[in-house]
Amino acid sequence: MNKTFIIVSGIALAVLQGCKGQADEQKTQDPAHNSAQAVALTENTKDDLNAVPIHITKAEFLELVMNYEKNQEEWVYEGELPCIVDFYADWCAPCRISDPILEELAADYAGRINIYKVDVDVEQELAAVFGIQSIPSFLFCPVEGNPTLSSGIAQTPEETKSLFIRQIEEILFKTALSAL
């Protein structure tokens, strides 16, 4: 039995080392490709970057959404386009369900809204300022007027997408939608 344990342990160690080696090789195998990706990203226009959700820090939030340190008494929106701020965590299953929906909506509404993502595990102060107690939570910020905070997702991805579209149209664009 002791020999079997040693053999199985050795095989497991070899497999793990092989997987690690493949991952390391993939990271370093084409540095020119990695550089080209970085250059391509910096050459994208601002509108192109808005076609995907953008991960932001507290400092970026203060600049792009609302500087609550400077404007402590009232909501003053800093953005040029309305936005959705997704307060999420990587370990959150509903957050992972909403991710591809938000990516699709970012592409559909590119140039009309921005979608920002805030990791509540990293940006705990930011989450606390907005009273985020459950995730995912979404802050819908129109250019004019006060933001609206909602939390959770619907029962299905399709219902969640419809909910987001309704909130985008009604809160961000101030359009009444009875058909959705």
Write the pLDDT tens digit of every residue in 126-174: 999 999 999 999 999 999 999 999 999 999 999 999 999 999 999 999 8
pLDDT score of 175: 79
The answer to whether residue 180 sits within a structural domain is no
Is the domain of 138 the same as that of 78?
Answer: yes
Is the domain of 36 the same as that of 102?
Answer: no
The CATH number given to whatever domain includes residue 133 is 3.40.30.10
Is the domain of 162 the same as that of 75?
Answer: yes
Domain span holding position 87: 46-172
Is the domain of 119 the same as that of 162?
Answer: yes
Closest to 168 (Cα-Cα) out of 93, 96, 82, 94: 82
Domain count across the chain: 2
Alpha-carbon gap, residue 61 to 117, rounded angstroms: 10
Query: Where are the extended beta strands (E) located within 71-160?
Result: 83-88, 114-119, 137-141, 148-151
CA distances from 158 to 29, 85, 104, 155, 161 (A): 39, 20, 12, 8, 5
Is the domain of 56 the same as that of 28?
Answer: no
pLDDT tens digits for 49-101? 568 999 999 999 999 999 999 999 999 999 999 999 999 999 999 999 999 99
Residue 107, pLDDT > 50, answer yes
Q: Which of 19, 83, 95, 141 is catalytic?
A: 95
What pTM does this model have? 0.71
Q: Is 92 a catalytic residue?
A: yes
